[in-house]
Copies of this chain bind each other. A is one copy, B any other.
Amino acid sequence: MLEGHFCALNFFLFEESTFWGINWYLCALELEVYGELGFFFLRNIMIEGHGDDLFRFEGRVRINFSSNIPQNVNHEELIRHLCERGSLVGNYPEPEPKSVERRLAQLLGLEQESVIVTNGATEAIYLIAHLFEGKRSAIVAPTFREYQDAAKVFAHRVSFISSIDEIEASDADIVWLCNPNNPTGEVFCRERLLSIIDRCREKVFVIDQAYALYSVKRVLSAEDIAGRDNVVILHSLTKEYMIPGLRIGYAIGSAGVMDALRGLRMPWSVNALAIEAAHFLLDSGNREVISAEELHREALRLSCALSALGIEVAHTDCNFLLARLQKGRAAELKMWLVENYGILIRDASNFEGLTPAHFRIAAQSPQENDIFIKCMQEWLSL
C-alpha cells in the first residue's frame, strides 16, 4: 500500500503539474504538515491502526480487549427484529434519517432541528470539519485520531494542546475534545468545561461524548446546549447500544449549525438496517445491558494489577484505560497476545503524543481480566 500511495503522491507532485486542477491547497498543506511521503501514508497508518481490528486475525481472537465497547453483548432480539425486516434491503432508506432525528429529539427534549443523525459519529466529525474548512483547529491530545484526520482532509491548520486549560490562550476557531476521552478514559470536569465554553464564545467546541454511557462521572447533557450556539455534542449509537457494525450516530447543537451540517450531508448515508435498528433500540431501550460502575470497577482492578507489575497506567473514569510498557513495544505485545492467547489489545502508538510503548485495553468479564493479568505477568517475565 505504501508503495501505492507513494506512486499516487509522486503522480500528484511531479507528473503533469496541471493535473486536472486537483485540490492543490489540500495537497500542499498535507505536504507542509507531513513532508513528502505525508498524508497518504499517515492516513493509511491511521485507518489501519484503529482498535477492534478483528478482521485481520480471522477467528484467532478469543478475548477482545481492543475495543472500548463491551464485548459479549447479546444482540439476539435486535438480530431477530432485523431478520423480520430483511426486505428493507430492497428499497432505499430515507435520504435523510429524519424519522430517527425526530425520535431522538423527542427522547432528548430537543427540537428536531437540533439533532442530526449520521453514518456513525465519524460522519458528523467529517461534516463539521467540512463546515469549518481551512480554519484553525485545536485538538486536546492524546485523543481519537479522527478529529485530526477529518481536519486535515478539510485543510484545517491543526494544533495540539495537552490540557483544556490551554484552550483560552489558543487562537483556534474550533476546539475538538473527547469526553470521556479516548484513549485515557478521563472525564473533564463539567463545570470547568462549561465555564471555558462560556468564556470562549468565539470558538466552536466539538465535544465527542460517544463514551458518555461508560462514564462514572457526569458529562454534558442536552440541556447544556440550550443558549450555547458554540457547542456541538457528538453521540454514538454504536457505543450506547454496542452496534459498531451498523454505523449510526448523531450530533446535537443549535438548529443553525445542525441545518448547515445537513446542507453538506450526502443522501442515504445511513443504511436501511441501521435506521431500523435505531428505532428498535430507541423504543425498547436496552441501555441496561451495561453498568458503568461495574465496568469501571473492573477497569480499576486491572489498573491496580498492571501498576503492581510496574506498568504505568493513566487515570480513568470509564471501562477502558491507557497503559505504558516499561520494556518492549505495544505492537510486539499485541502480536504475542494474539498468537499465544487469542487476546487482542489496542496498540496506542499512533495516538498523537503517545509512544510505541502505549497500549489501550477495555475491561471485560472478571475471569477474562484475570486471564489478561496472568498473560501480562508471563510477557514481563520473558
Q: Among the listed stretches A272-280, A292-300, A304-312, which one makes contact with chain B, having 4 or more residues with CB under 8 Å of it?
A: A272-280
User: Which residues of chain A in 328-355 are interfacial with respect to chain B, using CB atoms and an 8 Å cutoff?
Assistant: none
Which of B7, B120, B260 has a CB less than 8 Å from the CB of A12?
Answer: B260
Which of B87, B90, B92, B259 has a CB less than 8 Å from the CB of A50?
Answer: B92
A120 shortest CB reach to chain B, Å: 6
Residue ID in chain B nearest A95 by CB atoms: B47
Report if A243-B95 is in contact (Cβ < 8 Å); known contacts: A83-B79, A267-B50: no
A263 near B40 with CB under 8 A, answer yes
Q: Please tell me if A93 contacts chain B, counting CB pairs below 8 Å.
A: yes
Q: Among the listed stretches A19-27, A178-186, A188-196, A210-218, which one makes contact with chain B, having 4 or more residues with CB under 8 Å of it?
A: A19-27
Q: Please tell me if A86 contacts chain B, counting CB pairs below 8 Å.
A: yes
Report if A150-B266 is in contact (Cβ < 8 Å); known contacts: A8-B260, A78-B89, A86-B83: yes
Which of B20, B53, B273 has a CB less than 8 Å from the CB of A203?
Answer: B20
A35 shortest CB reach to chain B, Å: 15
Q: Please tell me if A376 contacts chain B, counting CB pairs below 8 Å.
A: no
User: Which residues of chain A in 127-185 are interfacial with respect to chain B, using CB atoms and an 8 Å cutoff?
Assistant: 130-136, 146, 150, 153, 173-174
Q: Please tell me if A240 contacts chain B, counting CB pairs below 8 Å.
A: no
Q: Please tell me if A256 contacts chain B, counting CB pairs below 8 Å.
A: yes
Cβ contacts under 8 Å, A208 to chain B: none
A245 near B93 with CB under 8 A, answer yes
A20 near B91 with CB under 8 A, answer no
The CA of A210 and the CA of B299, in the complex, are separated in Å by 49
Report if A23-B122 is in contact (Cβ < 8 Å); known contacts: A12-B260, A272-B245: no
Q: Please tell me if A5 contacts chain B, counting CB pairs below 8 Å.
A: yes
A245 shortest CB reach to chain B, Å: 3
- For A78-110 the 0/1 string (1 means CB < 8 A from B) is 110011001111111111100100000000000
Count of this chain's copies in the oligomeric assembly: 2
Q: Please tell me if A202 contacts chain B, counting CB pairs below 8 Å.
A: yes
Q: Please tell me if A378 contacts chain B, counting CB pairs below 8 Å.
A: no
The CA of A79 and the CA of B146, in the complex, are separated in Å by 33
Report if A242-B20 is in contact (Cβ < 8 Å); known contacts: A8-B256, A269-B119: no
Which of B54, B83, B132 has a CB less than 8 Å from the CB of A83?
Answer: B83
Q: Please tell me if A113 contacts chain B, counting CB pairs below 8 Å.
A: yes
Report if A67-B92 is in contact (Cβ < 8 Å); known contacts: A4-B113, A130-B23: yes
Residue ID in chain B nearest A173 by CB atoms: B21
Cβ contacts under 8 Å, A99 to chain B: 55
In the complex, how many residues of chain A place their beta carbon closer than 8 angstroms to a beta carbon of chain B? 89
A252 shortest CB reach to chain B, Å: 15
Residue ID in chain B nearest A254 by CB atoms: B11
Residue ID in chain B nearest A264 by CB atoms: B153
The CA of A305 and the CA of B95, in the complex, are separated in Å by 33
Q: Please tell me if A33 contacts chain B, counting CB pairs below 8 Å.
A: no
B273 near A132 with CB under 8 A, answer no
Report if A266-B203 is in contact (Cβ < 8 Å); known contacts: A22-B260, A79-B89, A244-B90: no
A327 shortest CB reach to chain B, Å: 30
Cβ contacts under 8 Å, A55 to chain B: 93-94, 99
Report if A23-B89 is in contact (Cβ < 8 Å); known contacts: A50-B95, A123-B266, A146-B267: no
Which of B47, B125, B259 has a CB less than 8 Å from the CB of A96?
Answer: B47
Q: Please tell me if A314 contacts chain B, counting CB pairs below 8 Å.
A: no
The CA of A102 and the CA of B96, in the complex, are separated in Å by 31
Q: Please tell me if A357 contacts chain B, counting CB pairs below 8 Å.
A: no
The CA of A190 and the CA of B256, in the complex, are separated in Å by 46
User: Which residues of chain A in 206-245 are interfacial with respect to chain B, using CB atoms and an 8 Å cutoff?
Assistant: 230, 242-245
- For A1-45 the 0/1 string (1 means CB < 8 A from B) is 000110110011000001011110010000000000001100100
